[in-house]
Chains A and B, each alone.
Chain A
Amino acid sequence: MSEILTVKGLKKYFPIVSSTFSRRQVNYIKAVDNVSFFLNEGEILGLVGESGSGKSTTAYVIVGIYSPTAGDILFKGRNINVVATKRPLEVKKEVAIVFQDPGTSLNPQHNIREILSVPLKVHKVVSKKHLNSKIEELLDIVELPKNYMYKQPRAIGGGERQMVAIARALATNPSLIVLDEPTSALDVSVQAKIINKLLDIQKEFQLSYLFITHDLSLMRNVATRIAIMYLGKINELAPAAEFFQNPLHPYTQMLISSVPVVSKAEESIKKKKIISAGEIPSSVNIPPGCGFNTRCPFKKDLCFEVDPEMVEVMPGHYVRCHLYQGMRC
């Protein structure tokens, strides 16, 4: 299996200026701070975090909405650490994104046909003659009827709109799709339909997904590997089953024990009960040392001085915490 995406030391800092006119930089918001991970071909990597953890910024830097402050993004071995406008067309064609809210990510003045034809025309996927048949094919993949072509986004339901957004992402035959919370605005019965469709598509077209979400139980059922982000850094990364059987980072344990569940079997997974306390600090004033030291029940003096390094404690299981620094495998 080869790596389709490798992210190395990625940083995205947003400057805070003192006033609109002087533009004097006062401080930085460290939205993404030294993030490294890789994504294998045909794999689903779940990037989980609370709001303000930098997971969406990571996604936006990868698809080129923001340019990174530092770091490398290797897509199929090619460095693409610039904004999308500076990327070669053939790379842009291969990386697609589905946004969280289909109500705002689809142009309300265009009908579905116009929305889907934009990427087809820009990337010259099909000739003008075959445009309609390609759009019909795309609607067919997401199981929407053909007559939806001439409807406007507001005339269809929320779940169907997200299906249109998925069809648009598929239009250019990408190999990597970044899914930025694709179902968090939807009801669970609709979410189930969308997730099952996404998994079918992933298998059929051999796609790789970078799946951004805040929903751990959803990731348990979807992701091959899961990474937890907190204050712009990855705290733990492990294969999905291992991640839930043997969560190591105190933050991961806190997250898992906070998930509301619906069966007794699930409660046994939440056995390591760490009571949730405190809130995520602002990413302007990140505390020195480990970012989690304000909420951690196991904090030591060291945690306030030194930021721990990412350590591979078991094959494929990485954790960034002082508790496990000696457990290098």
Chain B
Amino acid sequence: MIPKIKRRQMLDMLSSGLRVDGRGLEDLRPVEIKCRSVNNAEGSAEVRLGKTLAIAGVKTSIGTPFADTPDMGVLIVNAEFLPIASPSFEPGPPDENAIELARVIDRGLRRSEMIDLRQLCILPGKAVWELWVDIHALNHDGNLMDTSALAAVAALLTSEVPKAMVNEKGEVIVNKNEKQKLPIKCIPITITVAKIGDKLLVDPCLDEEEVADVFLTATFVDDKVCTIQKRGEKGLTEEETLKCLRVAQRKARELLKIVKEVIGYG
């Protein structure tokens, strides 16, 4: 019942162009990116979007490649919505929301070819680097999707992996003293647009998320879209869909600029 009253109130405000936190419809909340705070991880990043906070860490191990891609490294993305982040999160294995989030981010990283997985091959068919990207929500105030995606990207951008070589006997040797950056090809940026009534708003906060009809999340790379996920139990017209994507594309350019400034890539 509360969401219904909230929704009515929010629709009233939106009709006069106001959002609950005073932002414009296409404004992102302030972005904060803090990298390398986890010493034991190969890479890490804490990302804040307004009051939403997520942390991502990258760990590596040497494993065997998948049979259909014998010369490519392995990328695994996992997300946990910890009870520390919200009164509505419960301990236990990832629920459908956490699984969806991890899979959408995984597709974004994979399809943008952010990391040249071929360069993570040590011995074709035998040994490759496995990259484990673990994302943990720490404070949920809406749009965990974009916050987590950015955390994952920032963590990968700042990761340093030990050098691995193959000796004469064909054994894999890891030199932990010599580290190198991951083979980064580009930076994918994920933006979520929410629809409330007939209004489209970027980067929904929790209050907005609770009353929104539908969400469209898109990941962009070089101005092209590489992942889309429509979420929520309502529909969108074709016109609304394309409008969402155009807005997301614009915002992705803006966020990319921020990421490049903070991390100093490119």
| A in complex with B | no
The residues of A with any CB-CB pair to B shorter than 8 Å are none
Chain B contacts to A: CB under 8 angstroms: none
